[in-house]
Chains A and B, each alone.
Chain A
Amino acid sequence: MNFMASKQPENSLLGPEADSQRTLYPYVTGTSVVALKYKDGILMAADMGGSYGSTLRYKSVERIKPIGKHSLLGASGEISDFQEILRYLDELILYDNMWDDGNSLGPKEVHNYLTRVMYNRRNKFNPLWNSLVLGGVKNGQKYLGTVSMIGVNFEDNHVATGFGNHLARPILRQEWHENLSYEDGVRLLEKCMRVLLYRDRSAINKLQIAKITEEGTTISQPYSLKTYWEFSAFANPAQGAVGTW
């Protein structure tokens, strides 16, 4: 007696070849992006690592890119999906420029476009596996927003993706205030990036900080943070308890 009915495929609505076209898991990933509003505009920081699972495959991935005249986009998650998003945005900005009407897409508009793209992809069960941070200044108005891979979007005075949500946001919530100067903003971002460097295993000590103001965009050259490892308890941890580390 054969009680076993033939097994229906789980997603019988899609054919077998459709599976290979959907994003099921990310391969090359970037870790957190942290950004905040300051007096003159937006400051955004991200490290330059692209991890392939647990190996650090790429060490010069630029995860912050300028978009049009008024925005900066930072991404964490799958790097190939980020490159695809850059192509979509390239096309969007190109068409906007072709109108040649003196108007240009501001950060709020780009953020809305990205939200729609991410949400629609998620509805088709084929997400772009990224958490995006979109910041910019247009006509004196500062804007900082974020979109996740399932389409959750909001704007705030300071945002972070990935591990930054758990490690950087508590610091930002406590120490951010209106009208931070440029130096204070960079110091605050570096504080967050240093904690991430200590405690996120996929973070590397090579980061870029990007600034956008009414005048334009500047993305810094890659540099590294100073770290401190000289606590005396780290020197000989087993001193008090043999067999621990």
Chain B
Amino acid sequence: RSPESGPSGAAGWGAAVADSRAAPWHHRPVSLASLAQRTRFSRQELQLMYRGFKNDCPSGLVHRAAFREIFSQFFPLGDASAYADLVFDSFDPGGRGCLTFEIVIQGLSVICKGSSEEKLDWAFRLYDTDRDGFISKREMVQLVSAIYDMLGDSVWPRVHPCDAQLHAEKIFDAMDRDGDGAVTFQEFVLACRRDRDLDTELDCFDTLL
């Protein structure tokens, strides 16, 4: 529904216009009022976020490479590109390779201001990269490795190559009650709620703007 004004005018862009799956070069979001209505952010928060967004991505679109770079700035010691890719994919189900402001805000509205179930649902989609409804051991390992990558070298105790694998397997085995090699959403939620105060922990990631 978001209007995508494709390239127009210049002759060199002619071929690109014809291709409907070509990546758009510029994007203007919907009005502030409608976005404030649709999401759980207030007008001020939206304004603040859009100003920052527009500053870093003047074209209104975030491409995968740009997103990776932005994300890496928060984890300067390690390599955050793997995790950034996972997050990017979780926001971009269509696989178009770029995110618009609305997509980002709508996703954030769920993650930041949603209920614990919604947050866990997003987390599940983050883990489940192939979207088959189950988390396999491979996917778990992939995610945990991505998290460990963000640490970098200057940590104590040192990170061994097999640490991520062991950690992932431990968690997976704990989650996978029936031992069928795949974790469903219910198993996931149960495992998360068990012996931790999930709601408080999930809330601690709220950012005040």
Q: Do A and B come from one complex?
A: no
